[in-house]
Structures are given as structure tokens and as C-alpha cells.
Amino acid sequence: MTLNLDAVGTTSEPRTVSWTPDEAMLYAIGVGAGQDDPLAELAFTTENSHGVEQRVLPTFGVVLNQFRGGSRLNIGEFNPAMLVHAEQSVELSGALPATGSLEITSTVTGIYDKGSGALVVSEASGRVPGSEEALVVTRSSVFIRGEGGFGIPGPKDAWAQPERDPDVVLTASTREDQALLYRLSGDHNPLHTDPAFAARAGFPRPILHGMCTYGVVGRALLGALADGDPERFAGMSGRFSKPVFPGEALSIRVWQNEGPDQFQVVNDRDEIVLDRGTFALR
């Protein structure tokens, strides 16, 4: 199978996606909102609580931009079981409304040789129809095992872990059925539900969606560092370093800085599952 290296620089036609308050709430529940205390995050999980205005988790922007608004660009042929999500970032210029529309274009920005596989990087930009400024910009990298060897090196990442203990340590839980709930937001990849497909990819059982882990962590960081206020969210990025299995507990180690905060996420075996994280607030 061969990747299409000429895909770099190609941009999709604009595609409009819309969402409803129910879809925003379903996403929030899918990434654990209300899981530990059903009354703690009503702004994200209900639309009719007295004195509580409905809000939208900022990481829902990734679902809108990439999984619902992203157009399939021709990056060549490969075994889909060999593809894993490698890196993800999202930037917002303001809070997402409870209902709305975005006009989205997607661009392949790079295909890089990592030896044992290829790293395919893309960017999606979502604008409110009629607006000049993007409300949501997402950047995503996927690693396709077995597709390396074409000799195009990738850029270096300057992220470095601070040489001090974390300033904040947060905990977050995932449920055994987390993937079944999260997939209803639009990511129906069988890697997360089908034991036979997961086995072909080399896993003992289905793994949790990387973007579910990302949303769980983003929700925890927003609550702890921004009092749960989406208006203060500017951006978040991270690298998926090890799969999370549904039911695992997560520990989020945060180093607070003058610029974006940095974080790492480990599972209950102290293995890093989300690395090189940044979290920026307004």
C-alpha cells in the first residue's frame, strides 16, 4: 500500500456542519461530565436547570471540525487497522454556542517519515457562516504503522518537561462503557468497540477513543484551572503516547507557567498516556 505524498497542501471544499443543544450535552456526558456527581456540571449536561445557562465544552470543537466537518482527502491507500491518533490540538477564538453552524475546510499540512510508519498531519478551520475569523482551528496527526521509509523528516517539538514537581495533580475516571457512549458523538471506528478489529490492530481488547481521553482531560483542566468557564479557554494540545482502556483511572500532572500550562496524563499503572500537553487560557 502506498501513501499519496502529493496530498500535502491540498484543501477540501467547504463543508457546513450544524449542532443542537442535545448533541453538545451528549458529547459532554460522553467525556464524563456528571459522572462522579450528576449535579456538579449541569451547565454542560442540561439545558433547563433553574439559573444555569447551557454551556459547551471547548473540546467539542474537535468533533465538529474533524469528525463531522472534516472532508476525506486522498492521502493514498493503507490498512485502517494500522492507523492510530498521534497528536491533537484545538484553538478557539471564543466559546461555542449551544446551537450553531460552522463552515469547515480541511488541509493536509504534512506527511512525514517516522521509520516504522508515517505521520500524516492535517488542519481544519471552522468559521461561523458570514464571519471572516475562524472560531475553531484544529490540528491533528495520525500515525500509520508500516508506511514509513520515504525519507521526509518531520519538524522537531520543543516541548520539555519542567524540572520540578507538578504544581497541580488532578484525577479523572473513565467508565467500562465509556467508548460505547462517546462513539454516539460521531466516531464509530470499530477499534473502540469491536474485539476482532482491535485484535487485528494488536490490542487485547477495544481501546478508548483518543479523543475521548482528550475530552476527559480537557474537561478536568477547564474545571480546575478556569472554574469551568469556556470563555477562558484558548487552546489545548497533546500527544497520545499509549492507549487508554475503558475503566482506567487517569492522573493529570500540571505545571503552571506564565505562558500556556503544561501537562502529562498517566494511567493507574503510572504509564504516560497523553504527553507533551499544553493548556492555554485567556
Q: What are the boundaries of each domain within the chain?
A: 5-281
Identify the three-state secondary structure at position 63: helix
pLDDT of 259? 87
Is residue 50 part of the annotated active site? The answer reads no
Please write the tens of the pLDDT for every residue from 10-21. Answer: 999 999 999 999
Q: Which of 75, 77, 69, 86 is nearest to 10 (CA)?
A: 75
Over 90: is that where the pLDDT of 148 sits? no
Please write the tens of the pLDDT for every residue from 118-133. Answer: 999 999 999 999 998 9
Alpha carbon distance 14, 92 (integer Å)? 19
Q: What is the chain's mean pLDDT, rounded?
A: 93
**Bridge partners (DSSP) listed for residue 120:** 111, 142
Architecture in CATH for domain 5-281: Roll (3.10)
Going by their DSSP bridges, the two strands 15-19 and 100-113 should be labelled as: antiparallel
Catalytic residue among 85, 192, 209, 261: 192
Whether residue 178 contacts residue 212, with contact meaning beta carbons closer than 8 Å, is answered with yes
Q: Which of 30, 18, 24 is nearest to 214 (CA)?
A: 30
**Bridge partners (DSSP) listed for residue 239:** 87, 275
Please write the tens of the pLDDT for every residue from 61-82. Answer: 999 998 776 666 788 888 877 8
Please write the tens of the pLDDT for every residue from 190-238. Answer: 999 999 999 988 899 999 999 999 999 999 999 999 999 999 999 999 9
Is residue 192 part of the annotated active site? The answer reads yes
Catalytic residue among 187, 194, 261, 275: 187
Please write the tens of the pLDDT for every residue from 244-261. Answer: 999 999 999 999 998 899
pLDDT of 69? 61
